[in-house]
Amino acid sequence: MLRRAALGLWCALAAHGASVATAAEFRAATDEAVVLYDAPSVQSQKRFIVNQGYPLEVIVVLQGWVKVRDASGALSWVEAGKVSNKQRTIMVKTPLAQIRFAADDNSPVVFQAQQNVVMELSEVVAGGWLRVRHRDGVAGFVRLAQVWGV
């Protein structure tokens, strides 16, 4: 019964020009201050403002709007033009992430990033590692478990 209801909702959304994300899809906020709303309208209540590069998980895309989940788990709506389809970012979710020279726990630490620091995602590497780059240009590898946005 629940599966039939979910299928019905998906069909209704698709009929109205919506696309539903089927696997975790992330986009990054494009402007210095991007407003997240409680409904797909600029007249709706403003819920949050996120900085440029903030990673947002795509839930559904509907006629110029994207329903997203932020790192706290909150669901909101954002204008489609305010999120990038190309730039990928991640955000540190642990109190302190070790960014290493190579994708190896024994590799030297290049730098440490505090919780909520946003970095560019360069590539996903085997073994649960990500190649990342800080906005200052320093790059390295971080454990997938230490970040959000992938």
- Give per-residue pLDDT as tens, 11-35: 444 444 444 444 579 999 999 999 9
Banded model confidence at residue 7, pLDDT cuts 50, 70, 90: very low
d(CA 42, CA 123): 34
d(CA 149, CA 142): 13
Across the chain, mean pLDDT equals: 86
| Whether the Cβ atoms of residue 40 and residue 65 lie closer than 8 Å to each other | yes
pTM above 0.85, yes or no: no
CATH, range 89-148: 2.30.30.40
**How many Cβ atoms sit within 10 Å of the Cβ of residue 65?**
20
Q: Where in the chain is the domain with CATH 2.30.30.40?
A: 2-84, 89-148
CATH, range 2-84: 2.30.30.40
